[in-house]
Amino acid sequence: MVRLNDLRILATEDEILVAMALKAVLESAGCTVIGPFATLAAAEDAADNEDLDGAILDINLRGELVFPLAERLLDRRVPIVFCSSYVGTIPLPKAFASCACLPKPYTDDMLLGAVRKCFTGFGGGGWSSQPSA
């Protein structure tokens, strides 16, 4: 397994089993996971108080869209991977055209490929750019 030591990744996910698996996969690869957060407010608070190398964001957290958080992260030049069942079903706003998208369900290898590609600049697979609205 490729080690991703020292990457500090903010994660949002409101499904507890998916959140636990996401955290376990990232930590097993050497990442420090900030979260995962199930609410937008908690994620925004952490984002404002943490140094981050990237963010993995579920688009819908208990009925709230994460786009305000994503805008704040992009303003700080924090790369984003949207991991959501919405990927491929609805277009993302144009502001997020540069963000990677990973549809659910995804495999561990797809997740780590997206992290390598987006947060370290190394090759990997499993993600694609999302067409924007």
Rounded Cα–Cα distance for residues 18 and 23 (Å): 9
pLDDT for res 71:
96
The answer as to whether 124 is a domain residue is yes
pLDDT for res 27:
96
pLDDT for res 123:
42
The answer as to whether 2 is a domain residue is no
Domain ranges, residue 81: 8-129
The answer as to whether 1 is a domain residue is no
CA-based nearest residue to 131, from 94, 79, 106: 94
Inter-residue contact 67 to 93 (CB < 8 Å): yes
- List the Cα angle 73/79/83 in 5-degree steps: 95
Give the domain CATH number at 47. 3.40.50.2300
pLDDT for res 88:
79
pLDDT for res 120:
81
pLDDT for res 3:
58
How confident is the prediction along the chain (133 residues), in pLDDT tens digits per residue?
A: 445 888 999 999 999 999 999 999 999 999 999 999 999 999 999 999 999 999 999 999 999 999 999 999 999 999 999 999 988 788 889 999 989 999 999 999 999 999 999 988 644 433 344 434 4
Look at the chain and report how many structural domains it folds into. Answer: 1
Torsion sign over Cα 57, 58, 60, 62: negative
